[in-house]
Chain A
């Protein structure tokens, strides 16, 4: 089973890297970019009997820091 985890800074947590990317896009002439948030994608190659709940536990314990980050899990089958 393959799973893809998206980790993003929570809303309300300033994302200075996203802000820097937004400024860069503006200075390159891309207009109207009101906001940029940067996160990470983690792809997991799992045993066939793994469940989404297993992945959620991995997120809670290591893959995301839920003080500052939120995560979503995509099961790719």
Chain B
């Protein structure tokens, strides 16, 4: 199973994400934002957290228009897997691969702490290693994680079981406490919390490990 991790100027969770995929058994390649193609045989693209392009204009906006993102979009359109975490989630909404947008946190503060995260759906390659209703302890670290979409989009996401993660205590004002959503084909996941920062005993928690293991397992056996 081959994972490609996209690196933008200002990405800072790219190596953590690579380490988490590597520990789960993936063959990991780093991809620079100016590249125009993904490595051959890429099964999943990881779009990491950080501050791509300094968060200028809007978080993720400039990254979403970088050369590699055309390839990421084509990969997703062809049914490939994509995982966007934190700034990566912002990039995926800016590309249009996922609906909605991430606004400034309602309390205007940057929040960096471990929070309770409920698994709402185990019906995805990302979450099949969990049970719906599980509560995970996963770190968040963001200033713009306030998930917004119009009422019709929220109703559609809820109705189609596309809200896969929800905050136990909404830290940032997100509509319906939404922390992570999947695409219609359930192969693109965007989430604000950082499972790659809960993937090693040294992190103080390992609740994120099951995501990488189930993802590698699902794609390898597919």
Contacts and interface: CB of A to CB of B under 8 A. Distances in A.
A20 B107 CA distance: 9
> Chain B interface residue count: which class?
20 to 34
A68 B101 CA distance: 7
A9 B103 CA distance: 10
Interface string A51-77: 000000000011101011000000000
A39 interface: no
A26 interface: no
Interface of B: 57-58, 61-62, 65, 93-94, 99-101, 103-108, 146, 148-149, 173
Contact of B101 (A20, A61, A65): A65
Interface residues of chain B: helix, strand, loop or mixed (majority) = loop
Contact of B173 (A14, A62, A68): A14
A61 B65 contact: yes
B172 to A, nearest CB: 10
> Chain A interface residue count: which class?
10 to 19
Contacts of B148: 13, 67-68
Contacts of B103: 9, 13-14, 16, 68
Given A14-B106, A14-B173, A68-B103, 18 more contacts: A9-B103, A13-B103, A13-B148, A16-B104, A16-B105, A16-B107, A16-B173, A17-B104, A17-B108, A62-B61, A62-B62, A62-B65, A63-B57, A65-B58, A65-B61, A67-B99, A67-B101, A68-B101
